[in-house]
Amino acid sequence: MRTFVSAVAVILGVLLSAVAVPAIWLDRNVVQEDGFVALAAPLGKDGAFQQRLAASAVGTIDTGAIPQALAGLVQPVLEAAAGSLAGLPGYQAAWEETLRRSHRLSFADPRTLPPEANSTTSLTLDVAPLVALGVQEISRASGLQLDAPNQTLINIGQSSQRQLVERLSAYAPMGYILAIAAGVAFALALLSARRRWAVLFSAGVAGLLLAGLWTSGSQLAGDAVRGAASGNGVADMFKNEFVAAASHNFSTWIQATAITSGVLLVAGVVIRIASPGRRRTTR
């Protein structure tokens, strides 16, 4: 009976862990604002992405209030601002504020979104802070006063992905409860086991299998997201870069799981070899 209870507890712990670890990662790095910003902030340092993003942000600046006679003088200033935006002292802060605003829009209740935001997409970038930085630079260089918009939205994704975001917000935090339940299950397995080395060995093998499963799942999920084109060059570039950063970050969790599982597996083998029953059998 003890062996049966231990085996069931190990299986339950493995199943709970299979869901808990990805859920916790999603909550910490996607659902939570600080985690999302920390994960996506380095994307703003990529040279190609910087240029595309700066050009897109500056291209949205409204120059309609500028007299027609000065329009020819403003165009070179706009082009120069697009090229130098990423080098301005306030660029990184503006990029992080862009990410924070975008996260709030993307994970907000669709009923509270502004009319300009497409509530059917999974992510909405609000590049208004970058546009404001460009406006400030253009005003400084040209002496003309331009108004910066409160919002400049770029929709990313396809229809129905908003439902996925809502599910992530609702279910990802449950990963912590599942992780606690998995820990209780493994503790029960150790307490009820006749051969505790077998529990450690089984948990180690299962952990290595889970690491392989998560690796395959991460690749499939990344391919699916990258394959959903939005039709916007800047949006697709951000999406692809974010998926790459997310995959790299999650791979560190997978590596930690694989290392821990390897330690458990070896510990089980060592305990089995060093156990008194084993020594008597081999004499």
Residues paired with residue 154 on neighbouring β-strands, in sequence order: 125
Helix (H) or strand (E) holding 123: strand 123-126
Please report the pLDDT score of residue 247 as a whole number.
94
Strands 153-156 and 123-126: antiparallel
Rounded Cα–Cα distance for residues 185 and 149 (Å): 54
User: Which residues share a beta bridge with 212?
Assistant: none
Give the per-residue pLDDT at 102.
86
Q: Does the pTM exceed 0.75?
A: yes
pLDDT along the chain (283 residues), means of 10: 88 96 95 92 77 72 54 59 72 88 78 55 76 78 71 68 76 94 94 90 95 94 76 75 91 96 94 70 45
- pLDDT for position 283: 44
What does residue 154 show for φ and ψ, rounded to 5 degrees? -125, 115
CA distance 75 to 144: 13
Q: Which residue has the tokens 């000065």?
A: 70
Q: Can you state the angle between helices 33-40 and 233-274, rounded to 10 degrees?
A: 100
- What is the token pair recorded at 122? 């999974």
